[in-house]
Amino acid sequence: MATLLKGTAFITGAGSAGIGQYTAWAFAKHGVKRLALSDINLKALRTTVDELRNRHPDVEVESLEMDVADEGSVESGLSRTVSAFGSLDIAVNNAGVGGPMKPTAEVATDEWKRHFDINLTGVWLCERGEIQRMLKQNSNRGPREGRGTIINVASMLGLVAASPTTPATAYVAGKHAVMGLTKTDAVMYAPHGIRINAMCPGYVETPLLKAATASGIMDGEIKKTPMGRLAQMEEIADAIVFLASPFSSFMCGAGLVVDGGFTVQ
């Protein structure tokens, strides 16, 4: 298979058997040889890292215990990545939580703030640190000759409202904000050669959705999906590979929607 991806990649939220972990498998499969994987859950992360080393012994892996909501933790993770591998070329800001499944009238202020600390400030802290490092490594290159690509994992719920039967108010507001951050930074840093886009998955069969699917709350959402099913993790990871690769070289500030047709109705 031809090599699609080059350089050092960094992924947040790679511990659980979700989008981050499957993106790590897909990156290794498509040519990444230096991979920094991070998660707040070190035990889960060890499983991902061990499995990656088994499947791809030729890939160098750095394992980073990192809380995306904590500035010091994010900075130390990114610094370790660059000092271990010498560069940062691809970054996937994927870590996130489901948040309270409640309408606004029932959400407590602390729940709201904690959710935004992870799902919005967490993406922003990572993106800021990644941009700073990419700007530095591009400092000797001419305008638009720099390199670096950033993918923020938003959601189709960064584009449309949640339905009243799945009232994920804070989640939807946070993902819309991630889209705003993606678009604005994409415009700001395109002249420096840094490409920033968002991934907008529909409902994916990951641990994050497990409780909701088990409770039956997702049945109506699956029925509303024209393709009549949840996405598989590989289907999202392959789309992230596309966003990280030269095949998406003219995409800038876009949200790539992979949702089985949910949002086109």
Burial (CB < 10 A; 0-12, 13-18, 19+), residue 151, is: buried
Nearer to ligand NAD, 131 or 231 (CB): 231
Q: Mind telling me the catalytic residues?
A: 171, 175
Residues 6+ positions from 106 with CB-CB distance below 8 Å: 100
DSSP code at position 230: P
The 105-124 site mask, x for binding ligand NAD (CB under 6 A), equals: -------------x---x--
Q: Does 94 bind ligand NAD (CB under 6 A)?
A: yes
Separation of alpha carbons 146 and 240, rounded Å? 21
Q: Given candidates 9, 11, 19, 37, which one binds ligand NAD under the rule CB under 6 A?
A: 19
Phi first, then psi, for residue 215 (nearest 5°) are -80, -10
* CB contact at 8 A, 22 and 237: yes
Question: Minimal CA–CA distance to 16: which of 168, 256, 233?
Answer: 233
Among 7, 13, 253, 255, binds ligand NAD (CB under 6 A): 13
Instruction: Find the length of the chain.
Output: 265
Q: Helix, strand, or coil here: 50?
A: helix
Q: Which residue, 12, 14, 9, 18, is CA-closest to 201?
A: 18
Measured distance CA(28)–CA(53) in Å, rounded: 10
Residue placing its CB nearer to ligand NAD in the complex, 245 or 263? 263
Number of amino acids touching ligand NAD (CB under 6 A): 30
Quick note: the x/- pattern for ligand NAD over 141-160, rule CB under 6 A, is ------------x-x-----
Say whether residue 20 binds ligand NAD (CB under 6 A): yes
- Does 48 engage in binding with ligand NAD (CB under 6 A)? no
Dist CA 199 CA 248 (whole Å):
12
Residues between 187 and 206 with contacts to ligand NAD, criterion CB under 6 A: 201, 203-204, 206
Residue of 68, 150, 168, 257 that binds ligand NAD (CB under 6 A): 68
Q: Sign of the C-alpha dihedral, residues 154, 159, 161, 163?
A: negative
Q: How far is the CB of 190 from ligand NAD (least distance, A)?
A: 24
Q: Which of 44, 120, 125, 179 binds ligand NAD (CB under 6 A)?
A: 44
Q: Considering the rule CB under 6 A, would residue 36 count as an interface residue with ligand NAD? A: no
Residue 69 engages ligand NAD in binding (rule: CB under 6 A): yes
* Residue 138 or 152 with smaller CB distance to ligand NAD: 152
What is the C-alpha to C-alpha distance for residues 235 and 104, in angstroms, rounded to an integer? 32
**Which CB sits closer to ligand NAD, 8 or 12?**
12
173 binds ligand NAD (CB under 6 A): no
The footprint of ligand NAD (CB under 6 A) covers 12-13, 15-16, 18-20, 39-41, 44, 66-69, 94-97, 118, 122, 153, 155, 201, 203-204, 206-209
